[in-house]
Structure 1
């Protein structure tokens, strides 16, 4: 049986699955304590949280089951031209298939279409494969956090200039 992967915008019916993925994956990387996105209020209502203007969240479905997701929104406490890549996580069985790159490209293209000029993200030591992907797509590591995300547990920060980049 061949696997069918579908990348699509989040729907309300996906909220429980996405929350479960976030709550399963983040502790894998030691990101379950204070200062991590696992505690954000939006985790249980992702479809509503990302239905606003200049927000988007996409899920990856494998044979009808949500196995990952990621999105973007305005970076809190920053210039309106800056977005934040948010909550991009995959279950173990969905990793290593190139889905992260497809999802990231979709997020970045959509963020650029929404008028953002800079994309910011926060991550942490140990999420090495993700950081290699970010760098491969043009992100540069910066020395300190931007904006006001409240994620003081993160210790790696990256930005990407969207104005001259292509993600097709």
Structure 2
């Protein structure tokens, strides 16, 4: 088995990463409304992150995208806070340390961009993801920040960079 490569998203990755994200969300029976599933950006991820202080990474193994995650300014929020966005991995990427490595890439970029805090939203039953977030220093907070459009995600976490 090859070692997965974490790299910046390219335009050619758009169809694959959209499929990865939708497949993971379907596997977890995530609501299709009020979550990343409904985001218009899913089909144009490369273009979505072509703005200042935003980045999206994909994980590639054997010429196949098996996961991804990104960072961008938290929408509709006054303050120097970014959001960990669309961090999803196919089953073959899980349990191999890829998530922890991806988290390092994203946190490093968030710091490099000068953000003070990083925010995320997730589902209550995504316990493995929450464990990873807690290990990375995220703490639970009581309410949503900004306006992600993901009103179906009840778990909110924040980390000071």
TM-score (norm 2): 0.97
Structure 1 residue ranges without an equivalent (≥5) = 163-168
* 1:20 maps to 2:19: yes
Deviations 1:81-107 (A, max 9, x none): 100100000011111100000001100
Gaps of 5+ in 2: none
Aligned to 2:110: 111
- Write out the 4+ residue segments of structure 1 that deviate beyond 2 Å after TM superposition: none
Q: CA deviation at 1:44?
A: 0.3
Deviations 1:10-59 (A, max 9, x none): 00010000000011001222213210111111100000101111110000
Cα shift at 1:80: 4.4
Aligned equivalents of 1:61, 1:89: Cα separation in 2? 13
* 2:153 aligned partner: 154
CA–CA distance in 2 between the matches of 1:32 and 1:25? Answer: 12
1:109 Cα offset (Å): 0.5
Aligned positions, number: 161
Identify the residue that residue 142 of structure 2 maps to in structure 1.
143
| Structure 1 residues 77-88: aligned runs within 5 Å | 77-88=76-87
TM-score (norm 1): 0.93
Q: CA RMSD in A?
A: 0.9
